[in-house]
Structures are given as structure tokens and as C-alpha cells.
Amino acid sequence: MARLLLFNKPFGVLSQFTDKGSPTTRATLSDFIAVKGVYPAGRLDRDSEGLLLLTDDGRLQARIADPRFKLPKTYLVQVEGDPDDAALEPLRKGVRLNDGMTLPAEAARIAPPDLWERDPPIRVRKSVPDCWLSLTIREGRNRQVRRMTAAVGLPTLRLVRWRVGDWSLGGIAPGTFVEIST
């Protein structure tokens, strides 16, 4: 039976177990996870938070991470701006990025979610409104969600991956993980 860990990756943590060659010490998965033989299935940028899946099963890892399988990934995204439904329509149709068109995303404005405090907190500008979006994509290009929201004039302030396929972050505190059966 494959091992599958659901980890709530804090802001500032690399999605790898080592950081050899870096001139400064940066937090890695090894600071939080002492389980041998598991590896990240996909990646989550250092400045993003939330659900990171780790497994010891190569086929499961490929099914989760490989864009061919188009596993949906849902993000809670705090953006600068006050978009109406029409402003989100380009995200729903696909956005042209420098590496081509994205697939259509599910995009909706949501109430501010009940999340943990981020350390450090996001920058707040009193003269610029912000809001939260739920954004579900089915591909995983480098910094894709941030590039998509920027392309439609809604720069990302905070990005939390909430769900990958059927697996969700619900109830997992930052810096902790749960192991589930597959």
C-alpha cells in the first residue's frame, strides 16, 4: 500500500528536502517531515502556502503531478482589486501567458476564508481594495496562478492551495501533515 502524506506547507518553505548550495539557510520539507522514502508529488512555490502531497509510490506521484492527467487543483487567492463577475470571465476562458494559452479555469469570488495568520503578513495598501477568489486549474505551469491573475489585472497577494483532486487541506494546521490510506 502506498503512503500518502497531506502536508500544509507554510509560507517560505521550499518544496524539497534539501537546500544544498544556497548561501543562506532556507526552510525545507526536512524541517517538518521526518518520514523516510516520500517525495513531493508536484511543487508549490516558496512564497505559496497550502496542500503539498508527498508519496512513496512513483505511479501515484506521476498521476498527481503529470499535467496529462489534468487533476484539478483549487487555490484560495487573495488579490489586489475588486473584480466583478465579468472581470473573472477571462480566467474562465483561458488566459494568454508568455508560454501560451492556459486551459479554462473555474473562477469565483468568495468571502474571506478562515485561514491561519501568515508570517510574514501580506502587504496591505489602504488605498487599494483586495478580495479573495477560488481558482481551480487543471495544469501546473510555473507560477501559473500568479501569472494568470496578474494578466487580468489582479496581482496575487496570498496564494493557498486548498485542494488537489479529492484531497483537501481542511483541518491540517500549517507545518503539519496527516497520512492517509490510498
Rounded-to-integer distance, Cα 180 and Cα 182, Å? 7
Rounded-to-integer distance, Cα 176 and Cα 6, Å? 8
Instruction: Take residue 113 and report the three cell numbers written for it.
Output: 476564508
Instruction: Take residue 71 and report the three cell numbers written for it.
Output: 487533476
Distances (CA, A) of 70 to 66, 81, 139, 141: 8, 29, 6, 12
Count, residues in the chain: 182
Rounded-to-integer distance, Cα 61 and Cα 72, Å? 15
Catalytic residue among 19, 31, 45, 56: 45
Instruction: Indicate if 57 belongs to the active site.
Output: no
Rounded-to-integer distance, Cα 10 and Cα 179, Å? 18
List the catalytic residues.
45
